[in-house]
Structures are given as structure tokens and as C-alpha cells.
């Protein structure tokens, strides 16, 4: 059974940092693109970051470029999102998501974690 379990969310002050982690199991983690998708309270979905199978490609939404870093550790079947210089508008539920195999970041997420809430507030 495919499982994605996020951790690391919480309350942080503006300008602060958080590191989200996602523990994956039940599939060959190293074969898939992996993604972070967020959803602000009462708002729609936003694709935050994507990372290719070997980590050689990373893509970010413009609003987080230079502040967020996506990474993966295939030996630990884990995905990470380092979030620095956090802003109020980064407040959202952050989902770890399994994207497809293949060479391009298709918008096809077949498994999602339960989500972890990040709240940026003083």
C-alpha cells in the first residue's frame, strides 16, 4: 500500500524557517517525480515544487523561488521542503504528492499525503 506521511508543519513567525519531511512507502520511491502542493485556507491548489527522480531537475512556482528548496533522499525514501523567509501568504496545508515516472513533470498525482499545516503568523 502506497503511503505518504508528512511532518514538520506548525506555527512560525514571518521571516522564519521550517523543514517539511515526507516519508514514503509501498512503492519504488526512486522511480517517481515527487511534488509538494499547497492549499491556503479556503483557497485552491498550488503546485509548489517538483523534483525529478535523480534530483537533477527541480521546478518551483515563482512565489517561492529563492526561498524554498525541494530535495530527496532515495536511500531513506524521503522528500523534503526547506522553507526560509516565510511569509503570511505561505500559510497553507502542504501536501506531499507522488507524481509520475517518466522524463517530464506531468500533472498526474495519483497518491497524496494527508497534508501538514504551516501557519505563518506573529
Partner 1 sequence: QSALTQPPSASGSPGQSVTISCTGTSSDVGGYNFVSWYQQHPGTAPKLMIYEVSKRPSGVPDRFSGSKSGNTASLTVSGLQAEDEADYYCSSYAGNNNNPVFGGGTKLTVL
Residues near partner 1 (CB under 8 A): 44-50, 59-62, 95, 104-110, 112-115
Q: Which is nearer to partner 1, 39 or 82 (CB)?
A: 39
Q: Which is nearer to partner 1, 14 or 42 (CB)?
A: 42
Three-class SS of 8-26:
CCEEECCCCCEEEEEEEEC
Q: How far is the CB of 25 from partner 1 (least distance, A)?
A: 17
**Taking the alpha carbons of 82, 64, 94, 86 in that order, is the dihedral positive or negative?**
positive
Q: Which is nearer to partner 1, 13 or 31 (CB)?
A: 31
Q: Which is nearer to partner 1, 1 or 122 (CB)?
A: 1
Q: How far is the CB of 80 from partner 1 (least distance, A)?
A: 17
Can you tell me whether residue 101 is helix, strand or coil? coil
Q: How far is the CB of 54 from partner 1 (least distance, A)?
A: 17
Inter-residue contact 67 to 14 (CB < 8 Å): no
Q: How far is the CB of 105 from partner 1 (least distance, A)?
A: 6
For residue 26, CA distances in Å to 23, 63, 85, 111 come to 10, 32, 34, 11
Amino acid at each position: 500500500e502506497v503511503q505518504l506521511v508528512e511532518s514538520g508543519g506548525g506555527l512560525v513567525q514571518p521571516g522564519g524557517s521550517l523543514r517539511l519531511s515526507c516519508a514514503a512507502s509501498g512503492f519504488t520511491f526512486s522511480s517517481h517525480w515527487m511534488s509538494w502542493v499547497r492549499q491556503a485556507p479556503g483557497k485552491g491548489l498550488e503546485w509548489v515544487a517538483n523534483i525529478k527522480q535523480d534530483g537533477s531537475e527541480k521546478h518551483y512556482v515563482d512565489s517561492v523561488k529563492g526561498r524554498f528548496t525541494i530535495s530527496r533522499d532515495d536511500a531513506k525514501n524521503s522528500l523534503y521542503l526547506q522553507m526560509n523567509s516565510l511569509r503570511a501568504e505561505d500559510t497553507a496545508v502542504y501536501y506531499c504528492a507522488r507524481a509520475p515516472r517518466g522524463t517530464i513533470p506531468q500533472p498526474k498525482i495519483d497518491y497524496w499525503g494527508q497534508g501538514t499545516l504551516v501557519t505563518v503568523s506573529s
